[in-house]
Amino acid sequence: MPEKTVRFLVPGGEATAGPPIGPALGPLGVNVLQIVEEINRVTSEFKGMRVPVEVTVNTDTKEFKVVVGTPTTTALIVKEAGIEKGAKMPGRENVGEISLDQVIKIARVKMDDMRAKTLKSAVKQVLGTCLSMGILVDGKNPKEVIREIDSGIYDDKLS
């Protein structure tokens, strides 16, 4: 049973049979619309975010399996901050603000995808993304929050 796996980054709940899904799955002889409907069903909770999706197709039986990953850290930050996109000139302008609790929540969601061994290091990775997007954390520059984490101020929250 030869299987073919294809990966896509699709808008949650809004995938279409057009590119990139249709051209990748069409040659495999499967019902592309049926797969798109399944992708939209399983990604509906991530509406408005780009979600990684992996479709595995058995080329003999035409059966398929859809596996949904977690949205990118950037997409999760954008959703939490209630903005459309990051700053054009991060470091010079700030486009939004989130709380440290929201950063911790994002780190917990992304923990399995990150190469972080501890919640503390995962939070620091999310803070780095906030920095590159021009997002303040509790009204402070993310670099300052990272220094506070390193000094142990938030150890009770990160244990």
Q: Give Cα separations from 95 to 3, 143, 146 (angstroms).
A: 44, 16, 19
Reported as a single tens digit per residue, the pLDDT across 44-59 is: 988 888 899 999 999 8
Each residue of 56-105: pLDDT tens digit? 999 899 999 999 998 989 989 999 999 988 999 988 999 999 999 999 99
Q: How far is CA 97 from the centre of its chain?
A: 18
Q: Where are the domains of the chain?
A: 3-68, 73-151
| Token pair recorded at residue 93 | 């302008």
Q: Could you tell me which CATH number the domain at 73-151 has?
A: 1.10.10.250
| pTM reported for the whole predicted model | 0.79
* Among 96, 83, 78, 81, CA closest to 134: 96
Quickly name the fold that domain 3-68 has. Ribosomal protein L11, N-terminal domain (3.30.1550)
Do strands 3-11 and 50-58 pair parallel, antiparallel, or not at all (unpaired)? antiparallel
